């Protein structure tokens, strides 16, 4: 087996996002809203988002590592321009957006375990991937997903002998190190952007890989992943939307109007980086407020899951921002 190199770049998601929040021009964090939230929230309700039993995958730790990498390399951008969600039928239910991705892959693996092999990912054709995601509507960014699936398979073979668990071993089963190794190894996971001339690491999907793998192994008695509490929130479309709903994030009028009228926000633009980075730092401030006001310790990744799940509540009427990207 080829030994993966140690990450040649240090990623400081918290530090980078704090600096952006201090310099942001279009997005502000409201500390009073955070204090109100911390005083009113039911800490017992802050729990992981539901994971449907119908979509559970079983296997060895190595197989689960392949499953999680397959899932997370394709986990991005589910909103559609016509606002009709991509939907698939599986296990007697309809699944939409992210859940449809999980269901589609679960369906494929249930029929053919070969989909758990990086060699299959590396050689997958556009037609095969389109068939994989067949349902009502069309999954967004299909061509990008084909390219990323091919790249992920090739890198997994070339650098890790087709076993993503080797990457995790090289990272010492440490969550932030796993995220760093994934970001270093796979271009599509390297969620780092320039803001006012400085790199800002956000690493949404790289950190989710570490968290998803930890949860998958924990459910089936696999190896333990250390330092999950060191992960930050996973800045996507829904977390900023929910934080705006709570009044925690305040946008300038022009930026807010563009989001509410469903105008495209350019990827890696200053306002897009500010929105995502301030979301991450706001969640950190919410964690600190809950600890300080209520003596309740909640890790950022868990608060993220709670906020993401709550963002789907019918009372959340604000629009999410619309950016076409494979980073989230």
Catalytic residues: 236
Contact 168, 293 (CB under 8 A): no
Closest CA relative to residue 81, chosen from 141, 130, 123, 32: 141
Q: Please give the span between the terminal C-alpha atoms of the chain, in angstroms, as a whole number.
A: 31
CA distance readout (Å), 16 to 85, 187, 193: 34, 20, 10
The span from the CA of 26 to the CA of 208, in Å, is: 27
CA distance readout (Å), 162 to 117, 285, 304: 7, 40, 31
10 Å CB burial of residue 314 (0-12, 13-18, 19+) is: exposed
Q: Which residues contact 272 (CB under 8 A, 6 or more apart)?
A: 265, 266, 321, 323
CA distance readout (Å), 133 to 137, 142, 285: 10, 9, 39
10 Å CB burial of residue 194 (0-12, 13-18, 19+) is: exposed
CB atoms within 10 A of CB 262: 13
Task: Work out whether strand 27-29 and strand 198-201 pair parallel, antiparallel, or are unpaired.
Answer: unpaired
Buried b (16+ CB within 10 A) or exposed e, 137-146: eebbbeebbb
């Amino acid at each position: 087996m080829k030994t993966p190199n140690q990450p040649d770049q240090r990623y400081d998601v918290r530090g980078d996002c704090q600096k952006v929040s201090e310099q942001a021009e279009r997005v502000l964090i409201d500390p009073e809203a955070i204090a109100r939230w911390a005083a009113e929230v039911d800490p017992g309700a802050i729990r992981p988002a539901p994971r449907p039993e119908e979509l559970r995958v079983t296997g060895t730790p190595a197989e689960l590592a392949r499953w999680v990498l397959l899932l997370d390399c394709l986990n991005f951008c589910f909103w559609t321009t016509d606002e009709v969600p991509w939907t698939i039928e599986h296990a007697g239910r309809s699944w939409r957006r992210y859940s449809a991705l999980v269901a589609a892959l679960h369906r494929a693996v249930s029929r053919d375990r070969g989909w758990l092999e990086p060699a299959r990912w590396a050689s997958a054709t556009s037609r095969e991937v389109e068939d994989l995601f067949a349902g009502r509507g069309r999954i967004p960014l299909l061509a990008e997903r084909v390219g990323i699936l091919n790249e992920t398979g090739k890198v997994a073979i070339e650098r890790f002998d087709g076993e993503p668990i080797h990457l995790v071993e090289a990272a010492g089963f440490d969550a932030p190190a796993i995220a760093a190794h994934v970001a270093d190894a796979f271009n599509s996971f390297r969620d780092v952007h320039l803001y006012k001339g400085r790199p800002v690491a956000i690493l949404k999907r790289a950190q989710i890989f570490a968290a998803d793998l930890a949860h998958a192994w924990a459910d089936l008695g696999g190896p333990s992943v250390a330092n999950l509490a060191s992960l930050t929130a996973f800045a996507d479309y829904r977390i900023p939307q929910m934080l705006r709903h709570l009044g925690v994030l305040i946008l300038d009028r022009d930026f807010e109007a563009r989001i509410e009228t469903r105008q495209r926000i350019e990827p890696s633009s200053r306002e897009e980086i500010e929105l995502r980075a301030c979301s991450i730092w706001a969640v950190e401030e919410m964690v600190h407020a809950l600890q300080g006001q209520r003596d309740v310790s909640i890790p950022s990744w868990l608060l993220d899951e709670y906020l993401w799940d709550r963002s789907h509540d019918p009372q959340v009427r604000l629009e999410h921002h619309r950016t076409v990207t494979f980073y989230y």
